[in-house]
Every structure is written in C-alpha cells, then in structure tokens.
Structure 1
C-alpha cells in the first residue's frame, strides 16, 4: 500500500473487531507477535512496519510523527476499516495519540503503552540511561546485545539467565540482531523529539483510554504515564511492577489481559 511516497508493508491476522498495533523506534511490526498470537482468536489484528523500516523502505527524507500517523490511517482506509482499537508502544504510542487527535471518530479505544505525549521526555535521559544507551552502540556485539537487554527487560528477568540466548530469542520480535541499530532510528528519534501533544490531551475526554507504565522503564518511567492519567479525563492508568520498557514482549500475558479487558469495556461486551 502506498502512502506519501512510501510502500507500507502490513499484515492482518484473525477475525473480529479490528485492532491496529503501532510499533516504536527501530522495531518492525512483528514485534507485536506476542499480542497477535493471543488476540487474533477474537480480533482482526493489523501490524505494519513504520516507513523506512523493515519492508516499508523508501527514501523517507524528513520524518514526523504526524506523517507516520497518516500512514496508519492510510492502511485503515486501504482495508476499508471505519474504526479500530488503536494500540501503540513507545514511539508507536505517540503515533497512536496523534492518530486519535487527528481522526478521533476512527478510534474505538486507545491503548498507550510505555509512551509519551511530549517526545522530548524520551530524550531527557538520566546519566545512567545515557551510559546504557551508549553501551548499545559501542563495544563488542555481545556487549551491545547485553546493554540493549538492560533497557527492555526488568532486573528480575535477567537474573540468572543466559543473556546471549535471550538476545537470540529477541531477534524475531525486533527484526534484527540486538547489536545493530537500523539507519532510520536517528530520524525516528528526531521525529519523536519534535512531537508534543500535551496541550491537546484534554480533547480525548470520553475516548476509552488505557495508559500502561512499567515500574522499571528507563525510557518512559511511570511519572510520564501518570501525566497522561491526569490530563485525559476518564483515562485508566495501570503501573506494572517487575516490568520494563519491553513489557509487551517479556510480560505478554499481562499486557494481553489488560488489552482484552480494555477492548471489551470499550465495546460494551
């Protein structure tokens, strides 16, 4: 499917009410496999590669959250889906938020996982996070993989495990070796840093909105999720203990249960 000069690759699986899943920085659509594997028994699950990543490759030029939200809407149009439950993680949450603000009538419910209304929050990092981030780009490939795991996994999930084997198991979700960063990542981070929907959050009053934060998330700590909770009247906030930024993967069962409950509430089931 074409959208503003980029051929967007997407997949649809399952049957039932439609759900669109939107991924974050440097992650392709198959990163949602732990959700699709479970929820596709009840829902039509749409995943896709954001422009410039995976199979959605093009000379993207300038990149923005607004353009990526337009890409998501273009897929809904191509599928002739009038409405869908919208789920976004990290940068994908910012895209989901923009989609809801731009086309609220298309959104049955909104789920924002470990994300930001103001993308600059993602770049205001602590010294510890800066050091961990640097370690994902320098050193041996094994060192870079292990540093990346520290960002996406909580300490308890890394205690006493074979981290090399764990990094290998992550490859299908990220579409790459954890030691590597796709070229588009810096443009995605730049697009995120320019996005700020904070002044408009009140416009989402009445839209069924679930906000999930993870207690050990170094990128989007729970204080950011609580800001959503107070700024979107009627939103529901859940803070997950023993979870980190990669919670849709490392604790898929809990995330899936939260999403299923949220979808059913929104649909009046």
Structure 2
C-alpha cells in the first residue's frame, strides 16, 4: 500500500479504543472534529489536504466507531486521547487543526502536550463557554432528548453554523441536511451529552499564557456561535499567536468556503518550521 492511500485502523490509547484513518504524503497534520462530530466532518477537505500533508482524522471518544466510555469525562481526557494516538502512531511532532470543540481539545494539547505538537490551528474555537453558548447547548440537548427526527435536528442546528450563502438556498440546504443524516455512525445521546458537559466545563484561559507552540487562531467574520471576540481573546492570551479573520464564513466555514479556509490553513502551516 502506498503512502498516499488512506489506511484505517483502531488503536487502544489512554484507556479507550479510537477509530482512525491516515493518508497522504508530507508533514503530518492531525484534524480534531467538533461537538458530536466524527471524522466525516472533514470529508469535504481531507482529500485536498492529503495532497500536501500526511493527514490523520479520527473519531473522538463518544463518536463514530470509537468507544463511548462511561461519563463524565473532560476536554483534558480527550486531549490525552489525541496525544496518546499521535505518540502511538509515531506521528509527532505534528501540526494539529482543532475545529470548535476540537479547538478546545487542541488548547488542552497546547497547554499540556506541547511536546507532540509543532504547530496548532484553532478553527472557530472558544476559550470558555458564554451564557448564550450554555443556552444553545441546553436547546441542543433538549432536542436530542425529545426524539425529534434527525432531519429536523440538523435543520435547526444549521443556522448557528452556516452563513447565508448556503442557508438562503433551500435546495442546497436540504441536500446538505440529507447528506449529514446519512452518516453511518451517528453520535448517540450518551456520547453527545458527555462531550457537551466536557466543553461547557472547560476553561482554557488560565493555561494559555504558557503556550509555546506556534499557533494560528482562525475565525470567520460571520461566525455567530463562536464569534470573533472569543478568537481575539484566545489570541491575546497565547504569546506570539497569529490571528486571521476571514471576511466571510460562519462557524462551519469549512463547509461554506472550503477553498478559502484551506488556503489560510495551509499557507500558514507551510511557513512553520518542520522537524
């Protein structure tokens, strides 16, 4: 099997079994998904990234084909999972992109596991939950517990995630919803609720001033779920961090504007030293 062909596997690390896929050639890049998302969240961009990077995607604990351990667990636990997986696969030091909750996991990595990192990109991330985010999460949990259909659940979530580019086109929005509900490994309530509690409890701010890994904080101007102010706060706390605001794009701007997002990420990463 050539290096360019994705290889799928399972690894038992930090007391949990994680499902992963790695492929491509070049410097190592690890992608960490957001709340309730498995590795398929990156499906629209991972092939492009693998033309330039040896790219690892994996299912966080609680999602996809990975274990759903008994709650509670923490963002630090999820960061320990990621660090252990990088070490197990002998991929460090690696560049890591963390999206949303994945950005919280990456902040914990930056604070506690800098030895496995060469660079970090915090994509539409947050340092700690705001009142609005707590209320949004309460609504998400209530909808899941109500037994509402997957189509309705996703449709109600998308306005917080996407810009008007997609939302104003109802045919495109419906097609996106239909594609998302076909996920063969949907996240169950137990996994989602455990991740939800972990992120609502997490506060990266005390540890960020000690980060020494080169870091890019990247956010879209139209992100209403994790707005620019939160990225600005992160960037102000990490010594030497770079911050970039794309002129368009919401919380899921990887779906809205994948070319612009990838251009920003890969352009910055290629300027960072490689081991």
TM-score, scaled to structure 1: 0.87
Cα distance in 1, alignment partners of residues 68 and 140 from structure 2:
27
Residue 59 of structure 1 deviates from its aligned partner by 3.1
Structure 1 residues 216 and 64: alpha-carbon distance in aligned structure 2, compared to 1, 3 A threshold: same
Q: CA offset at residue 261 of structure 1?
A: 0.8
Partner of 2:236 in structure 1? 230
How far did residue 232 of structure 1 move? 1.6
Q: 2:267: which partner in 1? A: 261
Distance change in 2, residues 1:106/1:249 (3 Å):
same
Unaligned runs of 5+ in 2: 1-10
- Whether 2:104 is the aligned partner of 1:94: answer yes
Per-residue deviation at 1:82?
2.8
Find the partner of 1:152 among 141, 161, 177.
161
**Shift, 1:172, TM fit:** 6.2
User: CA-to-partner distance for each residue in 1:153-212, whole Å, 9 max, x for gaps?
Assistant: 112221133132221133467954xxx86431111111112211202211124x321111
Q: Is contact 1:14–1:43 with CA below 8 Å preserved after alignment?
A: yes
Looking at structure 2, the residues matched to 105 and 184 of structure 1 have their Cα atoms a distance apart, in angstroms, of 29
Please say if residues 151 and 178 of structure 2, whose CA atoms lie closer than 8 Å, have aligned partners that are also in contact. Answer: no
CA deviation vs aligned residue, 1:190-246 (integer Å, no higher than 9, x gap)? 1112211202211124x3211112223232111101111211222111222331111
Offset at residue 89 of structure 1 (A): 0.5
Q: Paired residue for 1:15?
A: 25
The Cα shift of 1:21 comes to: 0.7
Query: Which of 13, 24, 29 is matched with 2:34 structurally?
Result: 24
Mapped partners of 2:20, 2:141: distance in 1: 32
Q: Secondary structure at the match of 1:213?
A: strand
Residue 124 of structure 1: SS of its match in structure 2? helix
Q: Secondary structure at the match of 1:169?
A: helix
Query: What CA RMSD, in Å, does the superposition of the two structures yield over aligned residues?
Result: 2.5
Structure 1 range deviating more: 1-10 or 256-265: 1-10
Using the TM superposition, give the Cα deviation of residue 101 of structure 1 relative to its aligned residue in structure 2, in angstroms: 1.3
Out of 188, 206, 211, the position equivalent to 1:199 is 206
Q: What are structure 1's unaligned runs of at least 5 residues?
A: none
Describe the SS at the equivalent of 1:45.
strand
User: Which deviates more from structure 2 when the two are superposed, residues 231-240 or residues 134-143?
Assistant: 134-143
Q: Distance in 2 between matches of 1:142 and 1:22?
A: 25
CA contact (8 A) 1:51 1:60 kept: no
Task: Give the Cα separation in 1 of the matches to 2:140 and 2:179.
Answer: 21
Report deviation, 1:86: 1.0
Indicate the residue corresponding to 1:214 in structure 2: 220
Matches of residues 1-269 of structure 1 in structure 2 within 5 Å? 1-118=11-128, 120-121=129-130, 124-125=132-133, 129=136, 133=140, 137=144, 141-162=150-171, 163-171=173-181, 175-176=185-186, 182-205=189-212, 207-267=213-273
Secondary structure of 1:183 counterpart: helix
Q: Is this contact kept in 2: 1:100–1:106, CA < 8 A?
A: no
After superposition, what is the alpha-carbon deviation per residue over 1:65-84, rounded to whole angstroms, capped at 9, x for unaligned?
A: 11111111111111112300
3-state DSSP of counterpart to 2:261: helix
> 1:135 deviation in Å?
8.8
Partners of 1:100 and 1:214 in 2: how far apart?
Answer: 22
Contact 2:99 2:122 (C-alpha < 8 Å) held by counterparts:
yes
Alignment size in residue pairs: 261
